[in-house]
Structures are given as C-alpha cells and as structure tokens.
Structure 1
Amino acid sequence: MATKTSGWTSPGDVRATVLRAWNSGELLREFHTPTGLHPRRRTLKHPSATALRTDYALAAAWAASWDPAPRCATLEYVTVGATTIGANTIPAAAVFASAAEEISFLGLGHEAARFLELARTLVTLDPKLEAWALRHPIEVLKQGEDALTAARVALWMVANPAPGIYLRQLSLPGVHTKFVENHRKLIDSMVSVLAPERALLGKNYSRRHGFLAAPDRVRLRFLDPVLELSPGVADIEVSAAAFVAMRPDVDRIITTENLVNFLALPQMPRTLAVFGGGYGFEGIRDAAWLTDVEVLYWGDIDTHGFSILNQLRSHHPRVRSILMDEETLLAHSDFWGREATPNHGALNHLTPDEHAVYANLQNGTHQPLLRLEQELLNWEYVLQRLQGPPHT
C-alpha cells in the first residue's frame, strides 16, 4: 500500500521491468551471448529527505518492503537526510550480476535452458539459424519442437526453390500439409534469413515458394441472353488463364466485389459481369482484350475500394468507376459504416473527382474512418444509375 501511494519503486515494479526485458527477448539474447550489459543496476525511486521528514512511517514501510532483497539481486544503498533528520540508509538500486540472475529472479530458468537447447539444435541444422533464433527468442520458446520442424521445411524450400509439386505432396519427416499451412509466417521468416536474396512476394503461398497451386477462378455472368453459351447458361466460372484467353463478343464488362450485387445485376445488352477483381486479381490484370471494351469497376466507397480501382487502372487505364462518387456517398449516409484499417497511400491513377472522394475519406471530412459498403446501396438507386447515361 505504501508504494502505491508514494510512487516509490516497489519490488513488484522491478519485477515488471525485468519481465519486459524477458518478453522483448533481450534477457534471452544476453543469456545466450553476453554483451557486457551486466551487472545491471535497476535504479529505484526512493524517498527523499523531505519525504523522510514529512512522512517517516510511510518511508520506513517502503524500506522494509525491500528486506530481504529480491531473490538473485543485491541492493545498493544510499544515505538520505544526514543534514536534516539524521542519516538514513535506504535502497537505491537492485543489481543483477548476469542475465541468468535476472531470469532466475523471474523463475524462468527452465525456459531459458530450453531456449539454449533449441537454439543449439537450430545451429546444427544451419549456422545462419542462430541469427534467426536470437532475433526471435520468445518465438523459439513458444514454438518449441515446431520451430525445429519449421527450420527443416525452410531449409528444404531454400534447397528446392521450384519443386514443381503441390504443397500437400511435400514429404518430410514429421511434416504434413496442415503443419506448413499453420506455420507459414514462421517458415517464411526463416527462409528470409537462410536466403535473403529470395523476395517472398505474392499472396499465394504455394506459388511464392515454387509449388503448384490451384488456378485462380473467375466467375462470369452474361447479362445479355443473346451471348449465353447455351440457353440458360449465363453464370459460369473459368480459370484465370481461360479468362485471359477469352475474346467474348461484348462491348462492356462490369466487375463488382459483392456476390449478391453480381447476381442481381440486370440484363444489359452486350455486357459481361465479373465477380471479384480485388488486390492482385491476375485474370483482369493480364487480360489484354479488355483494352477493346469498356471496363466498369464497382467497389466499396472506402480507401481500399479506391486502392483496388487504382491498381486495376494501373493495368487498364480506361477503367471507369461507377457508384463510387460523392453523390452516391451522401445519398446513403444512413448506411455509413466504419473502415477498421484504412489505406493511407498515395494513389496516382484516380480521376480528380475520385481523388477528391478518396481525400475526404482519408481526412475524415464527413466522418472519421468512413466506409460505405456497396451491398448497402439502395437498389432502385443502383438501377437508375446503371441504366442511365454515364455519370462522371
């Protein structure tokens, strides 16, 4: 109680400080490879001469809380009040001789020994993994034997950058498809240390590591019955490669991010609807034939909706956005929501009007973190805009 009201450092405060050093990995790194950080003084905020004079009982109770000294620490003392109320010797610092002493103070000696064991085993697999272990000591402890298994997978991936098999065909002792799926970030962090020249880019994990992967699929709706592949066959799905190779006899495509909107789009002459088209959608990105048709993009009115539009337009400059304007936003204020993680990047492929809406979203002009999801738009409003003249 005394330390809570006084603000002086308590043994619990020192424990919390040392625990932060453990959680950051600093103590385990020092335990593995001392750098001269120890002996380390953990300075204590202690009573001043004035405090001794005004509330001696409180100060005495604080000093008593340090007797005996915390386990594995020695106390340094300072003399206070010699010229006022008389010399009083009180604790001024808790000193730990080594990282091992601080770890023992926390009662985590067994965990530290386990870390050393795991780190040494990682080094036997590849010396470069020592640097990884020291960078991620708490992760090593958390993963335990799984860290060793992940290291074997990472080493195999580095040795086989283009295996040309499906991920589930990977045959290593103790490794199954679920293990790789559940430890992707762990494996990638090891690969980045083992082979830093390998840039792990792309959303598809299998392709990123040279495995075969199921092709991306593109869902299409022919909004003109005349263009149906056969009567009643208007809604189909093809591979991204097939979409790229297509040469449909259409004048316009509408791509939308919402399935219900995709399904509800009305019949339109010589028009094809495409479901999806978000970040990295290679079918739309690589389809050169889109340069010969009008491409409309309908996304959410939020920063990521405009980011996807910007990305799509970087490949197809003639893409035109629909229902992503200020008028639509303001007409649906009753349905405004919140965007949890907005994008703050500069978008260089927006029109002036689009950029104005994007800037308002970033600046919180109408409402902080504003988002209007496309599926919330009034459908009569949508139909009027889709079937009316182009809206700029």
Structure 2
Amino acid sequence: MISPEEIKKQALKWWRPLLQSTIYGDMFFPKSIDRIGKIQPGHITQQFETLQQEIATLYRHSKNQTGIGYLVKTAEKNFRRTGSHKLPDAIIFETVEDYVVFTGKKKEWRLFLLNYEKVIKSISRLKEWALLNCVWLTDAQINWDDILKVCHYFLNNPRSNLYLRQLPIAVRTKFIEDNVTLIQSLLDFLIPDHIRSHQQKRFAERYFLKYDEPLIRIRMLDTYLTCFGNFTDISIPLSDFEKLDLSVRNVLITENKMNFLTLPAMSSTIAVWSGGGFNVSYLRNVAWLKEKHIFYWGDIDEHGFQILHQLRSYYPKTQSVMMDCKTFEHFTEFSVVGTRNKSEQLSLLNEEEHKLFDQLKLTDKNRLEQEKISQGYVEEYLKSLGQ
C-alpha cells in the first residue's frame, strides 16, 4: 500500500507542470494517483494487521481526516475467501490548495503567483520565458523588482558602452554580479540580437559592455611605418586592435614576449604579442588580419603546434616560422622534457609540421623553447620572410 511519503514524492513531480499549466491558463486539478499498490488475497488473510496499519497511516494524513491534502478514494473489493472489503483505490488531489499544503509548497506557490503577475505586467513578452523557467519565480531570495529594472535598462540601452559599475540602474552595486545567471537567461531571451558571443560567459563581454580588455602589443618592424607617429612599440585594447587596418603586408605573431621584443627589422611587417600561449584566441575576430600574410612563431613542442592549429582555425593561410625539423635538429641539444598534449590529430598542420609533431609524441625531450634559438639564426631565417 502506498505511503504518505511515496504520495509526496509522486506529487512533487507535478510541481513544474502545475506552474506551466497555470501560465497556460489550463486546469491542473483534480489529479489522481491510481497506482497505489495492488492488494492481493494473501494480504487479507496473512498480513491483515500490517495492511490495517498501512491503511490507518494513509488515512491519518489524508483530507478525509485533516480536511486538506490528498483524498483517499475507496472501492469495494471482493475476495474469494474473505468476501467484500472497502479498500483504498486511488489518491486524489482535488484542488491546488490541497496540493501545495500537503507538499509544503504553499509559500512558493504564493510567490509564483505574485512574481508571475509582476513580471508579465512589467514585460508581457516574458510569458514564453516564464514557461521554460517557471521555477525561478518561486525563489524567495530573488528581488524581481530590481531584476526587472535591469531588464528594462538593457531593452532600452542594449549597447550602452559603459562599464558594469557605471550602468545607471537603481540597484545595489553588485546586484547584477550576484544574480548573473538569472539576468543572463532573461537578456538572452529579450535582446538576442545584442549578444557579442553565445560562447562568452563573462557578462560584460557577452552584452557589449566595456570591460578590462586584454592588451595587444604591437611592434613596428619596418622603420618606415608611420601609422602611430614616432611610436615603434605600443599596447592597445583588443577592441581598438580589431578596428585597425594597417598598411603592412606581413603580421608576425610570437608566443614568447622576449622573442617578440628582439625580432629584427623587417620590411612592411609588424609583430604582435597577445599575451602568449593560447591567448592567441584573442585574435580570432580581427577582420583586417584576413588580408595580411600571417606568420606564427611558437615553441617547438606539442602545445606549440596545437596553438598553431588553433590560429589556423581563424586564419587558414597562417604560415609557421622556425617550427620545422631543420630548426629542431639544429638546436636539439637544448631540447627538454615538456608537458604532453592529449591531442592526437591536428588536422590543420602541413605535412612537415605533422611529421615533427608526431616525432615529438615519440621522444622524451619533446620541447624546444623559442628562447633557445640563437639570435643569429633568427635573423638569418627571417631575412626573406614574406618577400
């Protein structure tokens, strides 16, 4: 025989459907649980006392005795040996009040009704969002008045170009940070055309706010370049770098800062350092780079080739420099044990790069850092680059 605990467990599965049916305007109750445990003849003859106790417990917590909660519906059952017995046949919740009192959801239910009305009155479009996210409306910790202030601000100012702390919204300073998951869900629904990137998790970057951007460092390797006046080495925010359109033919990107700083003079070329390593990802949306000859110089190790592969996923024509078998063999005495890379196949490497990458997978000393390559070798190698 079903117990009150089992009834509650089953009834709690209806919580979300109840909220959704309320938004739809559908009637959810009465609702019944018909499978409450089949009573066999043996229960009457051999386990009668246990059965009586189970039925007594069922009734003790029921609407039949307390006046609210689940109602026990009975039916006559005939058994060959013991005759007719009036036994529980189904459990019925007649009203939403019966349901929320029994399941302990009364406070949450009242919050849901209050918050849903508040949300829809404020922004009627959020009905569709509420259907998918109805449980948010039952959380007593959420200040929906302030949440809606934030929503209205972004609806009216989808790209304010301000820092998060500058937004003129009458909420406490860290309100958005403290409620970022909910607010992001709402803004994704309300302003889908004003999302910088769906893969971007950081709030400010996702919604075109100002933020402490990565700095991209640039060196003029051609002494005749005058795009920055007399400056030959500058750092600018990523968004400004994305707006540039320099009159140069070549862009040389390096993994290591010191190698970046010691690159020799080169005709119609700038050097770029985005922070080293996988921070090359900062450069993925720089449209003007597509028109340039891009060169990448990284460490000769498994991760270096993965970074090269990553850069080619943005700019397929990227050429590697000093990441070849000849260079590795020339400075092999300086190779050391490096961290292994789980990647087995890097589809964007060329034939020689693949050969070296596979070789590194099989050797213990699988890392030759850029810094170990002599300056003379670098300058000789780069003499004809891009010519």
Query: With structure 1 as the length reference, what TM-score do the two structures score?
Result: 0.63
CA deviation string 1:323-358 (max 9, x = no partner) = 9xxxxxxxx99977999xxxxxxx9x634889x9xx
- Aligned equivalent of 1:361: none
CA 74–246 in structure 1, closer or farther in 2 if over 3 Å, else same: same
Aligned sequence identity (%): 16
CA deviation string 1:281-300 (max 9, x = no partner) = 23774462894342246799
Q: CA-atom RMSD, angstroms?
A: 5.2
- Aligned equivalent of 1:62: 54
CA deviation string 1:230-276 (max 9, x = no partner) = xxxx9985432348567899885333xxxxx8679998878876435
Q: Does 1:44 align with 2:35?
A: yes
- Aligned equivalent of 1:87: 84
Of the candidates 160, 168, 171, which is equivalent to residue 171 of structure 1?
168
Q: What is the distance in 2 between the residues matched to 1:206 and 1:172?
A: 15
Q: What is the distance in 2 between the residues matched to 1:118 and 1:51?
A: 52
Q: What is the distance in 2 between the residues matched to 1:299 and 1:91?
A: 76
Give aligned pairs, total. Answer: 334
CA 216–37 in structure 1, closer or farther in 2 if over 3 Å, else same: same
CA deviation string 1:189-213 (max 9, x = no partner) = 32344455x2524226335444344
Q: Which amino acid aligns with 2:37?
A: H
CA 176–19 in structure 1, closer or farther in 2 if over 3 Å, else same: same
Q: Flag the structure with larger Rg.
A: 2
Deviation at 1:26, TM superposition (A): 2.5
Cα contact 2:274–2:283 (8 A) shared by 1: no
Q: What is the distance in 2 between the residues matched to 1:27 and 1:127?
A: 20
Give SS of 1:46's match.
coil
CA 287–52 in structure 1, closer or farther in 2 if over 3 Å, else same: same
Q: What is the distance in 2 between the residues matched to 1:26 and 1:112?
A: 13
Q: Does 1:17 align with 2:10?
A: yes
- Aligned equivalent of 1:72: 69
Q: What is the distance in 2 between the residues matched to 1:350 and 1:55?
A: 75
Unaligned segments of structure 2, at least 5 residues: 63-67, 221-231, 266-270, 324-335, 355-360, 378-387
Give SS of 1:113's match.
helix
Q: What is the distance in 2 between the residues matched to 1:320 and 1:178?
A: 45
Deviation at 1:43, TM superposition (A): 2.6
Cα contact 1:253–1:293 (8 A) shared by 2: yes
Cα contact 2:254–2:260 (8 A) shared by 1: no
Cα contact 1:31–1:99 (8 A) shared by 2: no
Aligned 1:1-392 pairs, distance under 5 A:
8-22=1-15, 25-31=16-22, 34-52=25-43, 55-56=46-47, 57-70=49-62, 71-80=68-77, 82-142=79-139, 144=141, 146-173=143-170, 175-195=171-191, 198=193, 200-202=195-197, 203=200, 205-206=203-204, 208-218=206-216, 237-240=235-238, 241-242=240-241, 252-255=252-255, 274-276=274-276, 277-278=278-279, 281-282=282-283, 285-286=286-287, 288=289, 291-296=292-297, 309-310=309-310, 312-318=312-318, 350-351=348-349
Q: What is the distance in 1 between the residues matched to 2:89 and 2:45?
A: 20
Q: What is the distance in 2 between the residues matched to 1:299 and 1:120?
A: 62
CA 85–169 in structure 1, closer or farther in 2 if over 3 Å, else same: same
